[in-house]
Amino acid sequence: MIRTLVIAGAAAAVILPGVSAEAAAIPHYKKPKVFGMKFQADPHHDFSKGLHSRHNGILRGWITEVRGGVAEYEPIRWKLSKEGHARFVGPPEYDVMAYASRIAKDMRFYSAYGCKISPSGTSYDDNASLGAKRCSTKVLLERTKRFGPAPALITVHKGAIVKVQEIFTT
């Protein structure tokens, strides 16, 4: 009985339109607070060993650079100023908290600002402030190159970035 369910599940993953077998196999990781005030910890990561992938899960962060199919990214946190303004910030200068992971060939990018290279309009979930419009990976890579890092939830699975969901900020 169990073997039949496993085979049926695998067959469904293969025939679902628009979903690859690899993407269908990604577990649902617990999402961090979108506007969390602390950097997320990765207690098993050794930053002294150079840039390498974060462990499986979802990081509130931003992609800082992309080279040869590998993205460098770092955690971010929501910071309130004394004047009452708020924004996302990365780690302090000289604080080594960066990761590097390959970009999965079927990575899913969900934009909060539409699918044009220059952000135009909005397309986000009102309840979570997360991008809801699926766009090509090319849009994400070109925006990062032109406009710099954008806050997002970055899902890493087996050493690869498999999903990026932009966080809407005003």
**Token duo for residue 166:** 């932009």
Measured CA to CA, the distance from residue 61 to residue 63 in angstroms comes to: 7
In angstroms, the CA 34 to CA 61 distance is 10
User: Whole-prediction pTM value?
Assistant: 0.81
**For residue 3, is pLDDT > 50?**
no
User: What average pLDDT is seen over the chain?
Assistant: 83
Q: What is the DSSP string of 23-42?
A: HHT---PPPPPTT-SSPPP-
**The predicted structure's pLDDT at residue 52:** 87
Evaluate if residue 51 carries a pLDDT over 60: yes
- Both tokens of residue 15? 């025939």
- Is 80 in a helix, a strand, or coil? strand
pLDDT, position 58: 96
Contact 63, 76 (CB under 8 A): no
Lowest mean pLDDT segment, chosen from 1-5, 51-55, 121-125, 158-162: 1-5
**pLDDT the model gives residue 161:** 97
Amino acid, single-letter form, for residue 143: R
CA distance 6 to 131: 32
Q: What CA–CA distance (Å, rounded) separates 44 from 24? A: 26
H/E element holding 152? strand 152-157
Query: CA–CA separation, 101 vs 159, rounded Å?
Result: 6
Q: Is the pLDDT of residue 86 over 60?
A: yes
Confidence of residue 10 (pLDDT cuts 50, 70, 90): very low
